[in-house]
Amino acid sequence: MCGIAGIIDIENIENFSFKNQILIKIINHQKNRGPDSSSIWSSEDEKFFIGFNWLAIQDNQDIANQPFFSENKQHALLFNGEIFNFKELKEKYYRNHIFKTSSDTEVLFLLLRDYGETIISELEGFFSIGFFDLKNNNFFLARDRFGIKPLYYLIQNRVLYFSSTFKELNQICFNNKFDLTSEVSFYLFGSIYGSKTTNKKIKQLEPGNIFRNNNREIKIYSYYSLVNKLYEDQYNSTSIEEIVDHLRYVVKKYSVSQADWSLMLSSGIDSNILKNLLNSETTTFTLLFNDRKIYSEKSLIKKTKNNIFFEVNCENEKKNIFNKYLNSMEQPTIDGFNTYLITYLIKRHNINNKVCLSGLGLDELLGGYKYKKKILISKFIFNFNKIFNNNFLNKYIKNMDPKKYLNNFDKDANFQNYLLFRLITPFEYLSKDYNFNELHQAYEELFTIMHDKINEIKVINNNNEFIFDLLNFEFYLKDQLLKDGDNMSMDNSIELRFPFLEHNFVEKIFKFRKFNKIDKKNLAAHFIKDKLILNKKKTGFSFPIPISINKNIPKYFNYQIEILSNFKKNIGI
């Protein structure tokens, strides 16, 4: 929806000119996130500097713009995202109140002013929020449950800087040395996990967390955890009928917008479920790759009234757009080019579209990656090497090589198998170019962060597939797919919405899976009648990125080197 940024200097350490210039730079940097309007504001005592980039979706009146203030200027709100149940909350808490706007922003402001951060648990949607008590010098920042909307922060010289983007924060940091653990994370798994960024001092507020400053005491705490929620409700299940009905409700909610909206459509099950739940007049966008037939979607996509095909020549188009994609990265990743490409083409063709629905998330909820077979393969590889230390097998599986480090680090088979499944570049390739002791310390730090999660998950369910899907949800989905989806689409001024990731729907799916078996086809059969779509082999909404043909080099290694080299150049390293 937007971009938010701020500088909180309660002790007035930095001067007005410095803070004002920094905020202007941040707002200018993230202008693509909100091209409709940009604004900055500072309090008279120069303790609060806040800014906003506006992508008007729910209410385009100037009065709905941000920062949003109380009439006495005692409270202020910055809000990036959508609250889909704001009308229900409006009816519940403010039935007799006279509102000035029709936006979710005004409703959210009143809720946070009157009930504080505890009301966040009632919000349905995705968001990053900054709410400020300007009179008492207190404030809090909050991020949605699954991290759909980003929020970075830096505490330096007792001053807090926060932003929807990373790069300008990195520029003002006294020490912007590249974080080795993050670099290791990128090479091993293709993205950066948890609260870490490529700068040790700059953090991401983690999904489902609140950063609270009260009387100069800082507290960061979790208001939501999917794992904890499933544990609390571990003896409660739900029915497939309830899941189907709830998905209908969610898609109806997510397709409400005063701005033009559309659907990203492939020939896969995920987006076709959404297509069948939406109005037949819905505009859809599909990518076609002319020079690689294996990626063609056209043969399986039925003609729809408002379908727009973007036909891409893989070589020529990639050369023209790929550098833009690299330069748009707020954090290094091997993913996201598919999202960047289609949103870039929508923007380039001057299509007046601010919102796109996406089928992202269903694979992570319902094992769309065929884990059962891969779990068995991973177990076989791990156990075979452990017992026989077979050199031929080690060479054959060099791209997953567990013996180098996993044996000595952890005894949990589920965790080891998940890491094997997700591993992109083996440790041995990094040890050639980095100090071994520093590298070892970095991956131990990374794996310790990751391992804490599996201990929580095992309390809920010991089923391997269930654990794999929850791990995939917690790491791959949150830390890569959602982060990249927002970064790449908002760089082209388009908001992505993910109906399959509405938190109540996610909880219902995992609750059902604790006691029942279900896959994507089972769910899709309630919405899709076309057997060609239902039985189509999974290919994903993807772009054919370059891979190495040298069997002695991991297939994405050179691609990763190119990405990281360009990212370091962009941030001045």
Averages of pLDDT over runs of 10 residues in the chain (573 residues) are 94 94 96 94 96 87 85 95 96 94 94 97 98 97 98 96 97 88 90 93 97 94 92 81 96 90 90 92 82 55 69 68 92 93 90 92 80 58 53 41 40 66 77 77 77 70 75 90 96 97 96 86 90 72 54 74 92 85
**What does the pLDDT read at residue 527?**
93
Q: Using the 8-state DSSP alphabet, how is residue 472 labeled?
A: I
Picking from 223, 485, 519, the residue whose alpha carbon sits closest to that of residue 364 is: 519
- Looking at residue 112, its amino acid is L
Q: How far is the first Cα of the chain from the last one, in angstroms, to the nearest whole number?
A: 31
For 360-416, the DSSP string reads: TTHHHHHTTT-HHHHHHHHHHHHHHHHHH--HHHHHHTTTT--TTTHHHH---HHHH
Evaluated on CA atoms 110, 111, 113, 114, the torsion sign reads positive
Buried b (16+ CB within 10 A) or exposed e, 96-123: eeeeebbbbbbbbbbbbbeeebebbeeb
Q: Which two tokens stand for residue 487?
A: 């970064």
pLDDT of amino acid 466: 78
- Provide the 10 A C-beta neighbour count for residue 380: 12
Position 81 scores a pLDDT of 96
Residue 374 tokens read as 């891969």
In contact, 287 and 539? CB cutoff 8 Å: no
Distance from C-alpha of 232 to C-alpha of 226, rounded to nearest angstrom: 10
Helix (H) or strand (E) holding 283: strand 283-289
Q: How far is residue 186's CA from residue 334's CA, in Å, rounded to a whole number? A: 8
Q: Yes or no: say if 272 and 262 are a contact pair by the CB < 8 Å rule.
A: no
At 564 the pLDDT is 93
For residue 504 the two structure tokens come to 């109540």
Global confidence as pTM? 0.91
Contacts 24+ apart (CB under 8 A), 514-517: 514/230, 514/234, 514/237, 514/460, 514/461, 514/466, 515/237, 516/237, 516/240
Give the count of beta carbons closer than 10 Å to the beta carbon of residue 130: 25
Q: CB of 374 within 8 A of CB of 538? A: no
Of 281, 298, 302, residue with least CA distance to 290 = 298
Token representation of residue 26: 């941040």
| Amino acid (1-letter code) at residue 510 | F
In contact, 207 and 573? CB cutoff 8 Å: no
CA distance 455 to 14: 44
CA atoms of 557 and 426, how far apart (whole Å):
10
Distances (CA, A) of 106 to 33, 128, 145: 20, 15, 21
Dihedral angle, C-alpha 565, 190, 340, 23, nearest 10 °: -70
Does residue 359 contact residue 540 with C-beta atoms inside 8 Å?
Answer: no
Q: Which residues pair with 356 in a beta bridge?
A: 262, 496
Residue 500 CA to its chain's centroid (Å): 13
Q: Is 293 helix (H, G, I), strand (E, B) or coil?
A: helix
Q: How many CB atoms lie within 10 A of CB 92?
A: 11
Residue 5, Ramachandran bin (φ over 0: left; ψ between -120 and 50: alpha; else beta): beta
Neighbours of 541 (CB within 10 A): 20
The angle at the Cα of 18, spanning 14 to 20, to the nearest 5 degrees, equals 110
Residue 133, φ and ψ in degrees, nearest 5:
-95, 95
Three-state DSSP state, 131: strand
Residue-wise DSSP of 96-107:
T---S-SSHHHH
